[in-house]
């Protein structure tokens, strides 16, 4: 099977219960629980009206401006899938528009991540399927290939493998690796609980800020 022009079957899929648990958490909290070194790139912004993204990665790699493999990925998608397409970040041609969006909704796709552009922006906002993209253009795509489906891809330095967990909100995108998901969830839930406790203390007026001066002193800062 030639590298760069192949379609594989996904061998694993993040558990639905884990998806639902992660969906209740802010992406920033999960990111902090992964040492703050993973991100899908600040250029990928939400194109839908509101709401967050959580689902199973179905990965696509395509050359810039071509959506043949993206069409096939929608055909292959299972309910709850997030189709993550790496088109090199090029925004010259749109990878999809409202017709493909309508078909994806009918298939039960949970959302899209497009390292490239889309068009028919009003349709994406009206439909409100969670969709992140690098840009918008009216120029349509080509349908010649090549590309790959269900192989590892890299967006903004973040590796995404088929079956991984994809999360997104207004702060950006994050991939939680399949094997690490249970441990990350435990850490993220603990951090969320700690932040809720801190927020309550702020509102009550008794938030402990001694750590600021302690950190400055540890960094060698002098106080005049």
Q: How confident is the model at residue 2 (pLDDT cuts 50, 70, 90)?
A: confident
Chain segment 151-183, per-residue pLDDT in tens = 999 999 999 999 999 999 999 999 999 999 999
CA 56 to chain centre: 10
Read off the tokens for 34.
């992964």
* 209 preceded by a cis bond (ω within 30 of 0): no
Q: pLDDT band at 32, cuts 50/70/90? A: very high
**Angstrom distance (rounded) from CA 79 to CA 107:** 6
The token pair that represents 5 in the structure block: 């022009």
Map residue 72 onto helix, strand or coil.
Answer: helix
pTM here is 0.94
Quick: pLDDT tens for 81-117. Answer: 999 999 999 999 999 999 999 999 999 999 999 999 9
pLDDT tens for 36-71 read 999 988 999 999 999 999 999 999 999 999 999 999
* Pick from 98, 95, 142: nearest CA to 116: 95
Q: Which two tokens stand for residue 141?
A: 């795509």
How high is the pLDDT of residue 1? 60
């Amino acid at each position: 099977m030639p590298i760069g022009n192949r379609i594989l079957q996904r061998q694993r899929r993040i558990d639905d219960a884990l998806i639902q648990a992660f969906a209740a958490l802010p992406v920033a909290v999960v990111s902090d629980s992964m040492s703050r070194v993973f991100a899908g790139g600040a250029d990928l912004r939400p194109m839908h009206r509101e709401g967050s993204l959580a689902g199973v990665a179905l990965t696509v790699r395509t050359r810039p401006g071509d959506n043949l493999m993206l069409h096939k990925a929608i055909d292959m998608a299972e309910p709850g899938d997030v189709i993550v397409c790496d088109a090199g970040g090029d925004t010259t041609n749109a990878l999809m528009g409202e017709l493909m969006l309508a078909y994806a909704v009918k298939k039960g796709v949970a959302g899209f991540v497009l390292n490239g552009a889309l068009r028919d922006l009003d349709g994406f906002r009206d439909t409100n399927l969670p969709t992140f993209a690098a840009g918008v253009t009216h120029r349509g795509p080509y349908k010649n290939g090549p590309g790959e489906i269900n192989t590892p891809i890299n967006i903004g330095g973040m590796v995404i493998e088929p079956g991984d967990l994809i999360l997104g909100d207004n702060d950006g995108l994050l991939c939680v690796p399949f094997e690490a998901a249970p441990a990350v969830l435990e850490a993220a839930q603990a951090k969320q609980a700690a932040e809720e406790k801190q927020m309550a203390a702020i509102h009550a007026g008794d938030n402990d800020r001694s750590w600021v001066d302690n950190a400055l002193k540890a960094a060698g800062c002098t106080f005049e």
